């Protein structure tokens, strides 16, 4: 059974940092692109970042460039999103998903909520 389980969300003050994790099982993680997609409360979906199989290629939406870093540990079947200099507009549920050519495909996690507020 395929499972993607996000963790690391929570309440953080503006300017603060959080590191999200996504633990993967049920498919060959090291052979898969992965990505993060977020959804602000009551809003639509926004693609955030993607990473290729070995972590050598990374892509970001402009609004998070220089603040967020996507990474992976293929030995641990884990995907990460380091989020620095957080802003109120980063408040959202963050989903990890297996990706095809960088875009989310069939397998998604349930998401983890990040709230940026003082």
Partner 1 sequence: DVVMTQSPLSLPVTLGQPASISCRSSQSLVHSDGNTYLNWFQQRPGQSPRRLIYKVSNRASGVPDKFSGSGSGTDFTLQISRVEAEDVGVYYCMHHTHWPFTFGGGTKVEI
Tokens representing 48 are 């955030």
Q: Cα–Cα distance between 83 and 19 in angstroms, integer?
A: 6
Minimum separation from the CB atom of position 105 to partner 1 (A): 5
Does residue 27 belong to the site contacting partner 1 (CB under 8 A)? no
Does residue 102 belong to the site contacting partner 1 (CB under 8 A)? yes
Residues 44 to 83 in contact with partner 1, rule: CB under 8 A: 44-47, 50, 59-62
DSSP string, 53-85: TTS--EEE-GGGTTTEEEEEETTTTEEEEEE-S
Residues making contact with partner 1 (CB under 8 A): 37, 44-47, 50, 59-62, 95, 100-106, 108-111
């Amino acid at each position: 059974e395929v499972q993607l389980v996000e963790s690391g969300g929570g309440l953080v003050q503006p300017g603060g940092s959080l590191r999200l994790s996504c633990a993967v099982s049920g498919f060959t993680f090291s052979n898969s692109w992965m990505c993060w997609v977020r959804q602000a409360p009551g809003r639509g979906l926004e693609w955030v970042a993607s990473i290729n199989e070995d972590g050598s290629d990374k892509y970001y939406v402009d609004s998070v460039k220089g603040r967020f870093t996507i990474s992976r540990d293929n030995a641990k079947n884990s995907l990460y999103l380091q989020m620095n200099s957080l802003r109120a507009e980063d408040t959202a549920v963050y989903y990890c998903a297996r990706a095809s050519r960088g875009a989310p495909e069939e397998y998604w996690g349930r998401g983890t909520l990040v709230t940026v507020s003082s």
